[in-house]
Amino acid sequence: MPDRAAVATAGSEPGAAVMTAGFGACLAAAARRIDAHLGEVLRGFPDHTVTQAMIHAIRGGKGLRGFLVLESAALHDVAPGRAIWPAAAIEAMHGYSLVHDDLPCMDDDHLRRGEPTVHVKWDEATAVLAGDALQALAFELAAHPGAGPGGIRAELALSLARAGGAGGMVMGQALDIAAETAEVPLTLAQITALQAGKTGALIDWAACAGARLAGADPGPFHAYAAALGLAFQIADDILDVEGDADRAGKSLRKDMRAGKATFVSLLGLAGARARAAELAGEACEALAPFGARADGLRAAARFAISRDN
Amino acid sequence: MPDRAAVATAGSEPGAAVMTAGFGACLAAAARRIDAHLGEVLRGFPDHTVTQAMIHAIRGGKGLRGFLVLESAALHDVAPGRAIWPAAAIEAMHGYSLVHDDLPCMDDDHLRRGEPTVHVKWDEATAVLAGDALQALAFELAAHPGAGPGGIRAELALSLARAGGAGGMVMGQALDIAAETAEVPLTLAQITALQAGKTGALIDWAACAGARLAGADPGPFHAYAAALGLAFQIADDILDVEGDADRAGKSLRKDMRAGKATFVSLLGLAGARARAAELAGEACEALAPFGARADGLRAAARFAISRDN
């Protein structure tokens, strides 16, 4: 599939390419573009173990968050050359969170995207530092002059800091770690709040990036992202139970073994599937004002609940 | 010493308060102002272990980097109410680096600023997350609307990301970790390069923040910061050999026990002292164009080589 099939690179009407080329091809093309951009930026860094670990950590992701940036930017008629900076930023931020989450003192995971995790391939110090540097890189990319006028870049950096910090992603991760040793399993409301931070905050930032790049109100994209983020996490819980570790590229059945409450343990498999489908529908609905131009983002919501990795 | 004695809060001619109240009092007043500002911001965060660990980690620092921001801002006639945001940002960034540096897989330190380190007081996961959240907080503060116009905030965030990332502080830290297992001790040139990243990059950002806040050329402040940063690190190496652990509030004699090359092992104690004094002089000289208004920053350079913590 040539890169030009991707919505955000084609320069054609947003949403159209997804309909013709299929979502999987568009997502893969977006991920390739973002990987290439990150690779180019990282070639400017000192050739050091930490830089190699950073490259290892960001390679091979689905690129869903970056796709949301590119697609929401196209929806606002923002040039792809500007949108690639925050798209790369959110993938760097997501990559940092995975490297640190995989550490022995956190989730202690050895496999990620089908490859050994950073602390397994190198060591823990390298994983701490590569994650730290990826977070710094995320802000370098979000505030980069290529992304547009100063006021917009400041807003992108500020909102990314809030999404990633102790009021957003880190809080979700902290609640998740605490849940592992909690005596009483979490309730549905607690898991929903936890995931709104852990997974939801970065997805919200990605979906709102297009509006921010255009200096427009991200309003409707918050509702889209809230439904998409929750659907994504329910699908993750289903994948943890039903998935194939080779296809997923990471360890599965961990929550079940740990006896952690998940959307599946609380809703049952059928209930979880129904709730995920309902949320994907809500995500699509939230974009009604944008008509067919939002079909790429709608396809992302459907993808979130049907993926196998 | 009342807070208003500090240069940056007094609204008087920069440099003047240092001459009347003494540098120690001015530094302490600046540190109190920054601590209070950080405390206020953190009160808006969810009440969680990670937030408590963040507060623990940023409390009780010397505040030298924050002082450099406030003082360089005063030198450029930037309002203290704007400068407090990047001043708090650099202390959050410095705090994050200490929490992660103290981790068992890094320097494995148990004492910091006279208190147990975060992973000792809580656990490693909390330390990883608190450090991560402090880095995000640093960017939230640097890009905060209170700091001024969007273009300036974007520039502050961008330069902070570059100072903190794999081309700056993280690279210095990675070289330092690598040096611990190196078969051949580092040379003077290698240690100087290492420190330019590990300590120098954030000091450079702090010293240049005033010019950036004013939209002015940070040019002369790079030279000041390069000399100050190196002098600061040489003084750190002297402190590691000669210092009193109680006064320093951290473990000492670590480099010597580890057989690591330091400025002291390479230059001797007398040679290291002479070099530090020479560098402090160079730092003061670099500010010649600013006359007596830069006396506060000159006092900081002298403090850097005479401190006991």
- Domains of chain B (ranges plus CATH)? 3-304 (1.10.600.10)
Which candidate from A128, A145, A155 shows the least CB-CB separation from B100? A128
Q: Which chain A residues have a beta carbon less than 8 Å from that of B167? A: 44-46
Q: Determine, for residues A143 and B166 on separate chains, whether the beta-carbon distance falls below 8 Å.
A: no
pLDDT at B5: 36
CA trace torsion A273, A277, A280, A282 (10° rounding): -120
Q: Determine, for residues A143 and B157 on separate chains, whether the beta-carbon distance falls below 8 Å.
A: yes
Q: 3-class SS at A112?
A: strand
Q: Does the pLDDT at position B112 exceed 50?
A: yes
Q: Which chain A residues have a beta carbon less than 8 Å from that of B106? A: 125, 128
pLDDT at A12: 58
% pLDDT > 90, chain A: 80
Q: Determine, for residues B103 and A128 on separate chains, whether the beta-carbon distance falls below 8 Å.
A: yes
CA distance A15 to A291: 10
CA distance A29 to A118: 25
Phi, then psi, of B103 in degrees rounded to 5: -60, 150
Q: With 0-12 CB in 10 A as exposed, 13-18 as middle and 19+ as buried, what is B43?
A: exposed
Average pLDDT of chain A is: 91
| Complex ipTM over 0.90 | yes
Which candidate from A44, A154, A160 shows the least CB-CB separation from B153? A154
- CB burial string A133-155: b at 16+ within 10 A, e below: bbbbbbbbbbbbeebbebbbbbb
Q: How many CA atoms lie within 13 A of B301 on its CB side?
A: 27
Instruction: Tell which wins on pLDDT, A94 or A180.
Output: A94
- Over residues B54-63, the pLDDT tens digits come to 999 999 899 9
pLDDT (average), residues A182-204: 93
Please tell me if residue A56 touches chain B, with a CB cutoff of 8 Å.
no
- Over residues A235-270, the pLDDT tens digits come to 999 988 887 777 777 777 677 667 788 999 999 999
Which residues lie below 8 Å from residue A228, measured CB to CB, with a gap of 6+? A203, A207, A279, A280, A283, A300, A301, A304
Q: How many CA atoms lie within 13 A of A266 on its CB side?
A: 16
**What's the gap in Å between the CA of A170 and the closest CA on chain B?**
6
**What's the gap in Å between the CA of B279 and the closest CA on chain A?**
27
Q: Does the pLDDT at position B13 exceed 90?
A: no
C-alpha distance across the termini of chain B, in Å = 20
Instruction: Tell which wins on pLDDT, B97 or A47.
Output: B97
Q: Determine, for residues B140 and A149 on separate chains, whether the beta-carbon distance falls below 8 Å.
A: no
pLDDT at B171: 95
Q: Determine, for residues A166 and B50 on separate chains, whether the beta-carbon distance falls below 8 Å.
A: yes
Q: Which chain B residues have a beta carbon less than 8 Å from that of A154? A: 143, 150-151, 153-154, 157
- The beta strands (E) that lie in A76-207 are given as 111-112, 115-116
Pair of tokens at residue A191: 């898991």
CA distance A131 to B120: 21
Q: Determine, for residues A166 and B125 on separate chains, whether the beta-carbon distance falls below 8 Å.
A: no
C-alpha to C-alpha distances, A133 to A45, A105, A107, A139, nearest whole angstrom: 11, 19, 20, 10
**H or E element at residue B111:** strand B111-112
Q: Does the pLDDT at position B20 exceed 70?
A: no
Proportion of chain A in helix, strand, coil states, percent, rounded to 5: 75, 0, 25
CA A207 from chain centre, in angstroms, equals 10
Please tell me if residue B155 touches chain A, with a CB cutoff of 8 Å.
yes
> Residues 73..132 of B with a Cβ closer than 8 Å to A: which?
96, 100, 103, 105-106, 123-126, 128-129, 131-132
pLDDT at B11: 47
CB atoms inside a 10 Å sphere around CB A101:
22
Q: Does the pLDDT at position A7 exceed 60?
A: no
Pairing state between β A111-112 and B115-116: unpaired
B126 to chain A: closest CA residue:
A174
Q: How many CA atoms lie within 13 A of B259 on its CB side?
A: 6
pLDDT at A257: 67
- No. of helices (H) and no. of strands (E), chain B: 17, 2
Q: Which chain A residues have a beta carbon less than 8 Å from that of B166? A: 42, 45-46, 48, 50-51, 54, 133, 136-137
- The beta strands (E) that lie in chain A are given as 111-112, 115-116
Q: Determine, for residues A144 and B132 on separate chains, whether the beta-carbon distance falls below 8 Å.
A: no
CA distance A294 to A174: 34
CB atoms inside a 10 Å sphere around CB B242:
13
Residue with tokens 């102002």: B33
CB pairs under 8 A between A and B: 182
Which candidate from A124, A154, A160 shows the least CB-CB separation from B154? A154
**What's the gap in Å between the CA of B284 and the closest CA on chain A?**
31
% pLDDT > 90, chain B: 80
Residue with tokens 């893969």: A28
CB A7 within 8 A of CB A74: yes
Q: Determine, for residues A149 and B151 on separate chains, whether the beta-carbon distance falls below 8 Å.
A: yes
